């Protein structure tokens, strides 16, 4: 009996050791790099670069404003389980700074947008020491984040380095095609009509890349406030330039833009809402707008059809 008991203990210990080895060396789903991102735009990059070797979780879904986002207990658990955390940086996720600082002591916690050379960034008009975080609206800049994600995944899973490089190159090729598509479509809008008015100032990189004058009621962050004077100033510009359309954003209330539309009518100028743009958040998962390329194409097509 004693001998049999000793054999059972030995079998149990062997099974436990093998289980631990399986978890540490990876096997099946455990072999995948667990990636947690803040915004879906970064999740899309990670999924395209990592391919079958990553499992990606995005904290912020459709309609979520990253400027005001506060992490839930469930989010903390997802961050704890991750092998790597990818976030935008440049103060986009303003209320999560302390969390990222703590997590960086435990695992790779990477602000991907900060891989872009500072000389290419746009300064915050309200604070010259800070930069506009909405870099994904210039595809040529967003490619820097693709390279950064490839670099970080290769450190975690060096045996898949070549595949990550191939995936990144293929993804950047698609990004370059979308960049060219955007430039061609914009040409159908008369130059004097290339004025993009939205709820907050998220499209400065877009304007610089594709030749638009961009105006928003709020500043770079939706945490900033706007007043009656801001609305009136925008109404005067729209009337003077005879701009036909303004745009709402998927992650921000329509209230501010509707105030501009009403103000323009009182001023004798008819302005319509040209459609909804994706600014800080993408579309529903599984939809075309739930991908970075689909989101970008939706924005271009919506802007062009309303302003040309």
- What tens digit of pLDDT does each residue of 36-61 get? 999 999 999 999 999 999 999 999 99
pLDDT of residue 225: 57
pLDDT over 90 for what percent of the chain?
A: 65
pLDDT of residue 218: 63
What ranges do the domains of the chain cover? 18-180, 183-307
Compare 262 and 180 and report the one with higher pLDDT.
180
For residues 2 and 5, what is the distance between their CA atoms, to the nearest angstrom? 5
**Would the pLDDT of 273 be above 80?**
yes
Average pLDDT over residues 5-18: 37
For residues 206 and 211, what is the distance between their CA atoms, to the nearest angstrom? 8
pLDDT of residue 16: 35
pLDDT of residue 201: 79
- pLDDT tens string 94-121: 889 999 999 999 999 999 999 999 999 9
Compare 266 and 126 and report the one with higher pLDDT.
266
pLDDT of residue 118: 96
- pLDDT tens string 232-269: 888 888 888 888 899 988 867 687 788 888 888 888 88
**Would the pLDDT of 64 be above 50?**
yes
**CATH number of the structural domain 183-307:** 3.40.50.1980
pLDDT of residue 151: 98
Helix (H, G, I), strand (E, B) or coil at 92: coil
Exposure string for 5-29, b = 16+ CB within 10 A, e = fewer: eeeeeeeeeeeeeeeeeeeeeeeee
pLDDT of residue 11: 37
pLDDT band at 227 (very low <50, low <70, confident <90, very high): low
**Would the pLDDT of 305 be above 90?**
yes
Q: What topology is assigned to 18-180 in CATH? A: Rossmann fold (3.40.50)
pLDDT band at 19 (very low <50, low <70, confident <90, very high): very low
**Would the pLDDT of 1 be above 60?**
no
Q: How far is CA 137 from the centre of its chain?
A: 9
Neighbours of 190 (CB within 10 A): 9
pLDDT of residue 236: 87
Neighbours of 302 (CB within 10 A): 17
**Would the pLDDT of 6 be above 70?**
no
Compare 3 and 57 and report the one with higher pLDDT.
57
- The answer to whether residues 67 and 45 touch, using CB atoms and an 8 Å cutoff, is no
Alpha helices in the chain (DSSP H): 2-25, 40-50, 73-81, 97-103, 139-156, 161-186, 204-210, 228-241, 255-266, 292-307
pLDDT of residue 4: 42
- pLDDT tens string 184-212: 999 999 998 899 988 877 899 999 999 99
**Tokens linked to 7:** 């054999």
pLDDT band at 20 (very low <50, low <70, confident <90, very high): very low
User: CA 167 → CA 88, 164, 171, 229, distances in Å?
Assistant: 21, 5, 6, 49
Mean pLDDT of the chain: 87
Neighbours of 141 (CB within 10 A): 20
pLDDT of residue 301: 98
User: Any idea how long the chain is?
Assistant: 308
């Amino acid at each position: 009996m004693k001998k049999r008991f000793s054999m059972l203990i030995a079998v149990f210990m062997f099974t436990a050791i093998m289980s631990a080895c399986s978890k540490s060396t990876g096997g099946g789903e455990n072999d995948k790099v667990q990636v947690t991102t803040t915004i879906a735009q970064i999740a899309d990059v990670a999924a395209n670069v990592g391919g079958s070797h990553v499992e990606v979780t995005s904290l912020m879904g459709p309609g979520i404003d990253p400027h005001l986002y506060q992490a839930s207990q469930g989010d903390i658990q997802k961050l704890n389980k991750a092998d790597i955390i990818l976030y935008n940086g440049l103060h986009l996720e303003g209320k999560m700074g302390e969390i990222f600082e703590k997590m960086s002591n435990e695992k790779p916690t990477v602000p991907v947008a900060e891989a872009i050379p500072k000389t290419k960034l746009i300064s915050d008009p309200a604070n010259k020491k800070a930069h506009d975080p909405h870099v994904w609206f210039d595809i040529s800049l967003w490619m820097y984040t693709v390279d950064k994600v490839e670099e970080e995944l290769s450190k975690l899973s060096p045996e898949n380095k070549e595949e990550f490089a191939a995936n990144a190159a293929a993804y950047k090729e698609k990004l370059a095609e979308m960049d060219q598509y955007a430039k061609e479509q914009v040409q159908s809008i008369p130059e004097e009509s290339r004025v993009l008015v939205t709820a907050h100032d998220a499209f400065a990189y877009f304007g610089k890349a594709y030749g638009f004058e961009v105006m928003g009621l709020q500043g770079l962050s939706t945490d900033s406030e706007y007043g009656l004077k801001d609305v009136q100033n925008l109404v005067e510009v729209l009337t003077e330039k005879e701009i036909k359309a303004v745009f709402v954003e998927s992650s921000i209330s329509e209230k501010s833009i509707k105030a501009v539309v009403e103000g323009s009518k009182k001023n004798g100028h008819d302005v319509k809402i040209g459609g909804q743009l994706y600014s800080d958040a993408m579309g529903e998962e599984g939809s075309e707008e739930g991908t970075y390329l689909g989101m970008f194409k939706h924005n271009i097509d919506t802007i062009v059809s309303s302003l040309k």
